[in-house]
Amino acid sequence: MKGRILGRISLRAYSTDLKPVVSSTLLISRTPIISEELTAFESQYYKYNNELWKRLMWTFPKWYYYKDGTISEQMFKELNPAPVFNNPNVDFPNGRPEIRQGRDRRFKQELKLPKTYSTEVERADETAAESSDNLSRKIVPNSRITKADETKDLTSLERKLARTLYLVISLDGNKWSLPNFEMSREEKVPLHKLAETGFQSIGGETVNYYNVSNTPCHLHHSENKKEYFIKSHILAGKFAPVDNSTKFMWLAKEELQEYLEGAYYEDVKHLFNDV
Amino acid sequence: MLSSSIKSAVLPVLRTFVRFKSKADVSPSTQRVIGQMSALSASKKQPKVIRLSNEDLIKHKSIVNAWNLYRRRKVSRQRDQLNKQYQSIVDAMEDLKQSEPELYVWANTKQTNKKFPLQLRVPTDYPPSQPWVYNVKK
């Protein structure tokens, strides 16, 4: 196996006799901030399993959590009225109820618990800070779709929170590529250092990043040039190009296919995350 | 004579009545344990066993099989991608070894003082109020 790989590499011929330029390509990614989007099949399967689980669940031991005669028991009773009892004088065409511990054991038990917050309209004079200090307030999660998604802002780091985004830049605003930095023939520096200094020089000064390794993760041969790929994650901060003519975007895998050159994308696509 | 025989017949039946309901003989701690056990045990709390018809059973099995197939394909796709990525690293390093021995040594040294960044976030179901931190102190 090893011999075959070595043979393939050493057989490669470049268009000129000059040794190919060594360069370092930075594969900087923004890791997902929220969990993966479920496919239709996944969400249906989870729903099915969840319903089965609820159907097979034991009856809620009400007497243990709500002592008889307390106010909380009263509130619980009001929210959860008793099921129709097995009246011997009534005919039940769809099967007779089997009531055990206040639950019809033929079906899942659906419980409603008393809320800690009032369901009425909030006080008009209550400020936002006051209401956020209120520990018993209703918890409303933030939307998974951000403003950047709505405005289709491709340069924002807040777009597609569920996906891994990769930085692509364009010097002329026409041809897009991953940030690539060439090594000078005189002075040699480690590949990951080359990528780091190069990234800082084009506008990564205000970025907190984490280089995964000093080992390159891929080699791409192009016309008299060798591109070694260095993986990195952006942790905080914003990429702000030094040169105003430099354009940049944060793109997910499928979008990269549109902007990168076809053969180049085919060679490097396995480096990008599907999620 | 008669009255005494009546007396003897009636007396054992007579009971002393107490004003309030008598408490159970168990201590409060034992009572608590009984309560906890009743919450944990299955007695009278189990739902009815699901009896699936043949058709429903086939439906259920199809769903589970479809899920297993889906998982298997997903896992194998991920494994293939990982293998490709590993092969990429091997290729790149072998090439470096041949063409740039100096860079190979640099790329192959272990980074011992490197620490995993605490700022890297674990994905949650919903985003934080400020999804991204923009100010970086250098």
Per the structure, the count of domains in chain A is 2
pLDDT over 80 (residue B64): yes
Instruction: Look up the ipTM and state it.
Output: 0.81
Q: A119 and A162 share a domain?
A: no
Residues A153 and A58 in one domain: no
Q: What is the 3-state secondary structure (H, E, C) of chain A?
A: CHHHHHHHHHHCCCCCCCCCEEEEEEEEEECCCECCCCCHHHHHHHHHHHHHHHHCCCCCCHHHHCCCCCHHHHHHHHHCCCCCCCCCCCCCCCCCCCEECCEECCCCCCCCCCCCCCCCCCCCCCCHHHHHHCCCCCCCCCCCCCHHHHCCCCCCCCCCCCCCEEEEEECCCCCCECCEEECCCCCCCCHHHHHHHHHHHHHHCCEEEEECCCCCCEEEEECCEEEEEEEEEEEEECCCCCCCCCEEEEECHHHHHHHCCHHHHHHHHHHCCCC
What per-residue confidence (pLDDT) applies to B15? 66
Please report, in tens digits, the pLDDT of each residue of chain A (275 residues total): 444 444 444 455 555 567 889 999 999 999 999 999 999 999 999 999 999 999 999 999 998 999 889 999 999 999 999 999 999 999 999 999 999 988 999 999 999 988 877 765 555 555 565 667 777 778 889 999 999 999 999 999 999 999 999 999 999 888 999 999 999 988 999 999 999 999 999 988 889 999 999 999 999 998 889 999 999 999 999 999 999 899 999 999 999 999 999 999 999 999 999 99
Any domain includes A176:
yes
Co-location of A164 and A266 in the same domain: yes
Q: Sort out which chain A residues have CB atoms less than 8 A from B85's CB and list them.
A: 217-218, 270-271
Same domain, A76 and A206: no
Look up the domain containing A247 and give its range. 13-34+146-271
pLDDT for A2 equals 44
Structure token pair of residue A269 = 């696509």
- B105: nearest CA partner in chain A: A190
Q: Whole-angstrom Cα distance, residue A175 to residue A167?
A: 14
Selected residue with higher pLDDT from A149 and B40: A149
B 62-121: CB under 8 A from A = 63, 66-67, 70, 77-78, 81, 84-85, 88-96, 98-100, 102-103, 106-109, 111, 116-117, 119-121
pLDDT (0 to 100) of residue B81: 96
A53 and A169, same domain (yes or no): no
Q: Report pLDDT for B42.
A: 86
A6 occurs within a structural domain: no
Determine whether the interchain pair B50/A158 forms a contact, defined as Cβ–Cβ distance below 8 Å.
no
Which residues 152-191 on chain A approach chain B with CB closer than 8 angstroms? 157-158, 161-162, 188, 190-191
**End-of-domain residue from the set A112, A133, A154:** A133
| Minimal-distance CA residue of chain B relative to A19 | B99
CB-CB under 8 Å, B133 with A237: yes
Assigned domain for A1 exists:
no
Residue of A nearest to B47 (CA): A105
> How close, in Å, is residue B53 to chain A by CA atoms?
16
Same-domain pairing of A249 and A158: yes
Examine the fold and report which residue of A110, A133, A156 is the final residue of a domain before the chain moves on: A133
- Per the model's pLDDT, the better-predicted residue between B113 and A49 turns out to be A49
- Do residue A208 and residue A265 come from a single domain? yes
In a domain, residue A235? The reply is: yes
CATH number for the domain including A227?
3.90.79.10
* Same domain flag for A151 and A266: yes
Name which of A33, A105, A206 is nearest B121 (Cβ-Cβ). A33
The answer to whether residue B96 scores a pLDDT higher than 90 is yes
pLDDT at position A7, please? 44
Domain endpoint, select from A75, A110, A133 = A133
Closest residue to A9, CB basis, from B98, B131, B136: B98
Chain A residues 67-96 within an 8 A CB cutoff of chain B: none
Cα(B131)–Cα(A162) distance, integer angstroms? 11
A-B contacts (CB, under 8 Å):
173
CA B115 to chain centre: 30
Q: Are A102 and A152 in a shared domain?
A: no
* Average model confidence (pLDDT) across chain B: 87
Q: Which chain A residues in 232-271 lie under 8 Å from chain B, judged by CB atoms?
A: 233, 235-238, 270-271
Instruction: Say yes or no: A115 and A179 in one domain.
Output: no
Q: Which two tokens stand for residue B58?
A: 């086939």
Q: For residues B35 and A64, what is the distance between their CA atoms, to the nearest angstrom?
A: 7
Residue B9, min C-alpha distance to chain A (Å) = 42
In angstroms, the separation between the Cα of residue A260 and the nearest Cα of chain B is 19
Residue A3 lies in a domain: no
The reported pLDDT for the residue numbered A129 is 57
Band (B23; pLDDT cuts 50, 70, 90) = low
